[in-house]
Amino acid sequence: MSSEEDSDLECDAASPSCSRCNEAGVPCVAPNASRQGTAPRSIVQFLEDQLANVDNVQREAYTTRAEHLDDRAVDATQDTRLLINHVMKDFAPSYAGLTALTPLVHCAVTGTRLPSTSLSGAINSNEHHQNSTIDSVSDGIRLSYIPTAIADFLFENYLKRVVAQNPIFYLPDVVGFFNAVFHHPIDSLEPGTLASPYETYVVSLIMAVSLTTSARTQQLRANSIATGLFKSAMRYIQTVFTNDLRGLQALLLLCEYTFLNPSVANVWFLSGFTTQLCIDLGIHQETLDDQKADPLTVDIRRRVFWCAYEMEIATAGALLRPTQFLSKNINVPFPSEIEDTAISAKGVDPHGKLTKFPSTRIWRFRQIEAEVVSVLFHNGDLSAEDNGALSMWMERMEIAIDTWRDEVKWFSSLNGSHPASEEMCLYADIAHDYIIVTLFRPSTRVKDPTTGNLMKAFIAGVHVARGYWKQANLEFGSSKYVFHPCYHTFSAAVVFLQVLDRCKEAIWLKYSTDEIEDFISSFSKFFATIAERWPAASRCLEEFERLMAPVKRNYIDFTLRKARTVPNGSITNASFSDQGGFLLNASAHQDELVDIHTLFPQDVFSHGQLGDLTFTIPTDWEMEFDFGVI
């Protein structure tokens, strides 16, 4: 790349030419630039934006000559646009993609990036090769590999544990899919022989999800089989990803599995595709005509939308990115919490059991998360009830998440026999603490929080790490997510280090040195545990320890200075019995540590001296996480 070498620039491989080459005014000749380049999260949204740009140009041109046009010309223009929109809707293809042979999801089936505070730290070339999964579908495991008795067990686990949180499908439908694979009428044929591509795809991913949640001790083996089932399911994506509700359900199931195994696909792209398909299908709004449909149709539309909403907010929120849904007028009620056996086209039996209450509580949490991220990181509007006062809004959000957690625990206590009750109580604690971290950490809107608020975020971050470690070690069958825990805990760890560096005095007065050591180990222990499910996540542990070492060393130096200035016997909050080991541990790998500035973008620190760090982590997660296709 001679043009860039001459300019001492490093190509970032953005399409159609890299930004650094553009700034230098030279043509980009990066090899394989199209493959290495960035890609829009939603092709549909990208095209809509391009059309909007053209529309703006036309509107500006029209404004300059508006005085020469009469009202009849304006009416004609509007009529023409209405006709174009009507025609576009009529010939919308049945497939969800650029062509029937090129589904949009195809470009997302490449591993999710790791959380990192540096661009290089986010890349794992072995896991994230563009076509690593698609090209290796021949290594997939067919459903016939699973004995029917084990398949029955895994399917029951999925119905009892997973469906309550993500009711993507109507129960009789998914039971029919499963029976078509494993309980067809001809015993001499192996499982799946008579099943349709859609049925095979759905059951393959259900088995993969259930295997992943079930594993505790044989994680590598279970994940290997689950990945093989996923690869087998990918054979059918050109058939199952249709431009309708059924195709959206198939896409949501893939996204659900990717949350459990982020190495197989790009979570950011997948959730973007589900969001755009929701908008294209219009299920983010419920009209009077929609409500006239039979109760079953209405309920399925609602549950599919809210499952898509949850996955979109979960992904965008973890990355502190904006969501497409906030700009849309969403008026879709929650679906029924009653068991599917009590729901039919004729109506909903009010005497049915409440089996889907976890999903409704999760959706309500995502609404709180969406508002917090929007207001603090994307300058979202404050509610009228807050009178434009940010402090009132923050207080209301804290009360809202406290109330939500208490409600989840209360409702779970009333349904103690439900398989997900214990799991939901832990989920409520983790979600509550994560919102506290997000609410009181430094943000775009609140760049310098008060010490009191930072201290709330500090200890809440520790609880996030501990809570996710407990979740990863829950009993057989409980959901053991990977994407959210990894990103949430890494974000909480960064905030923890920010506060440890900025609020030494307040922390020293409240926590002993042993407690701080224990807090730090909570993050390390979690990252080591999550790496068992997502091996590449070991990079998170490495980076956390690199970032932590100088901050920890500075804090220990601070406590030693305080110890010298405080009279003997008056220190009651700190234990220095093992201080030497603590200091040795902090400097034992000093030769391996790199300058902390090299792990962050250049504008991370507002002060040049390492001893006066403010840890102003940039909130541009596009830069931090670099989720583009590589």
For 467-491, the DSSP string reads HHHHHHTPPTTS---SHHHHHHHHH
486 HSE (CA, 13 A, CB side): 33
Tokens of residue 534, six digits: 């997502």
Of the pLDDT bands very low, low, confident and very high (cuts 50, 70, 90), residue 115 is low
Query: What percent of the chain is modeled with pLDDT above 90?
Result: 44
- Model confidence over 503-515: pLDDT tens digits? 999 999 999 999 9
Does position 71 have pLDDT exceeding 90, yes or no?
no
Lowest mean pLDDT among 51-65, 82-96, 540-554, 615-629: 615-629
Higher-confidence residue of 219 and 204: namely: 204
Q: What is the pLDDT of residue 558?
A: 94
Per domain, the residue ranges of the chain are 2-102
* Residue among 286, 306, 269 at smallest CA distance from 45: 269
Q: Who's near 257: CB < 8 A, 6+ residues apart?
A: 205, 208, 209, 212, 226, 230, 264
Lowest mean pLDDT among 166-180, 322-336, 342-356: 322-336
378 HSE (CA, 13 A, CB side): 18
Of the pLDDT bands very low, low, confident and very high (cuts 50, 70, 90), residue 199 is very high
- Model confidence over 559-601: pLDDT tens digits? 999 888 866 544 444 333 333 333 223 222 222 222 222 222 3
* Residue among 527, 533, 530, 557 at smallest CA distance from 545: 527
Of the pLDDT bands very low, low, confident and very high (cuts 50, 70, 90), residue 216 is low
Cβ atoms 599, 77 nearer than 8 A:
no
Considering 104-108, 144-148, 418-422, 475-479, the range whose residues carry the highest mean pLDDT is 144-148
Q: What is the pLDDT of residue 128?
A: 38
- The mean of the pLDDT values for the chain is 76
* For range 237-255, the mean pLDDT: 93
- Angle, helix 245-260 to helix 483-502, in steps of 10 degrees: 50
Q: What is the pLDDT of residue 223?
A: 82
Report angle CA 71, 77, 81 to the nearest 5 degrees: 145
- The model carries a pTM of 0.74
Q: What is the pLDDT of residue 35?
A: 38
Q: What is the pLDDT of residue 64?
A: 52
Lowest mean pLDDT among 71-75, 148-152, 463-467: 71-75
* For range 371-398, the mean pLDDT: 92
Of the pLDDT bands very low, low, confident and very high (cuts 50, 70, 90), residue 531 is confident
Taking the CB of residue 51, how many other CB atoms lie within 10 A of it? 10
Q: What is the pLDDT of residue 238?
A: 85
Report which DSSP code applies to 158: I
Taking the CB of residue 239, how many other CB atoms lie within 10 A of it? 17
- Model confidence over 532-557: pLDDT tens digits? 888 877 888 999 999 999 999 999 99
Does position 174 have pLDDT exceeding 50, yes or no?
yes
Considering 57-61, 89-93, 310-314, the range whose residues carry the highest mean pLDDT is 310-314
Does position 274 have pLDDT exceeding 80, yes or no?
yes
Q: What is the pLDDT of residue 329?
A: 78
Burial 380-405 (b: 16+ CB within 10 A, else e): bebeeebeeeeeebbebbbebbeebb
Considering 171-180, 276-285, 591-600, 617-626, the range whose residues carry the highest mean pLDDT is 171-180
Place of tokens 């809440």: 460
Higher-confidence residue of 375 and 418: namely: 375
Does position 84 have pLDDT exceeding 60, yes or no?
no
Does position 524 have pLDDT exceeding 70, yes or no?
yes
Lowest mean pLDDT among 154-158, 168-172, 256-260, 414-418: 414-418
The single-letter code of the amino acid at 355 is T
Omega prior to 335 cis, within 30 of 0: no
Taking the CB of residue 408, how many other CB atoms lie within 10 A of it? 24
